[in-house]
Amino acid sequence: MAINTIGVIGAGQMGSGIAQVCALAGLDVLINDVSADKIDAGLAAVDAALVKQIERGAIDEAARAAAKARIKATPDLADMGGCDLVIEAASENEEVKRKIFTLLRAYVKPEVYLASNTSSISITRLASATDRPERFIGIHFMNPVARMQLVELIRGIATENETFEAAKELVTRLGKSYTVSEDFPAFIVNRILLPMINEAIYTLYEGVGSVEAIDAAMRLGANHPMGPLQLADFIGLDTVLSVMQVLHEGLADSKYRPCPLLVKYVEAGWLGRKTQRGFYDYRSGTPVPTR
């Protein structure tokens, strides 16, 4: 089945980015979230990102206008009935994601493909919340979606070849590359990346180095474009903690234990850039280390 209309559930950083790249590729997009305010914020984020693409010379004004026209706000999940693919991009919480897929059962057409943008949670388990696990797949975009080339594809135990081929075709149409991961906790990218970030937080927690020293060491010593603590703030410390908890619980190995300092920051509501405080304080406009 050709994919021409995509529903995106979740208008946050990931959902708005997915909507943006799909609309630029000529797909019609319906975007949903729990409130009209969140949808409006997502649409504003798309518009701002498109303007930045114009400034970089990546697109022109006509492409921006066409992409904006292809994205429609959809406050009601019932409007997803005409979609060929629905991608869930809600917070990294299994209960929330399962609830979304359970609710979708009543609205989507029988031949629809379903996908999750989860960065760590079992695709097989999420598929079990639907009535069509054979048409369910993990399509994990990297953040920021518009800039990052890679998409991870993850098949659940019941995912049929038709679904897998449709997902590969979509990723290619979006001008991105895909890698295929088995359905293990955190897949490939986050299985490697998040423990590195967690270890950087342990390095801070144990007083081995300051925030600035740790980030400078990895930028200049390992040629990383962004220090691990700066990257953690960009990802969101709540998401970092969620992924580490999935790894720790799913693989039962103490090396994946979330750093207590990470837990403390999340409990304080210091989640990084999105709350203006994390390992850096962003409220002045110039990032200042908080430790």
Span 220-233, average pLDDT: 97
Specify the fold of 191-289: N-(1-d-carboxylethyl)-l-norvaline Dehydrogenase; domain 2 (1.10.1040)
Where exactly are the structural domains of the chain?
A: 5-181, 191-289
For residue 279, give the nearest of 227, 243, 217 by alpha carbon. 227
Rg of the chain on CA atoms, in Å: 19
190 is catalytic: yes
Is residue 37's pLDDT more than 90? yes
Residue from 32, 92, 152, 198 carrying the catalytic annotation: 152
Residue from 88, 140, 181, 242 carrying the catalytic annotation: 140
254 is catalytic: no
CA geometry: angle 150, 151, 154, nearest 5 deg: 140
152 is catalytic: yes
For residue 29, give the nearest of 75, 114, 86 by alpha carbon. 86
Specify the fold of 5-181: Rossmann fold (3.40.50)
pLDDT category of residue 206 using cuts at 50, 70 and 90: very high
> What kind and span of H or E run contains 201?
helix 189-205
**Tokens representing residue 216 in the block:** 């400078």
In sequence order, the β-bridge partners of residue 7 are 30, 86
Residue from 181, 190, 198, 242 carrying the catalytic annotation: 190
pLDDT value for 1: 73
For residue 47, give the nearest of 34, 149, 31 by alpha carbon. 31
pLDDT category of residue 17 using cuts at 50, 70 and 90: very high
Complete DSSP assignment for 249-269? HHH--GGGPPPHHHHHHHHHT
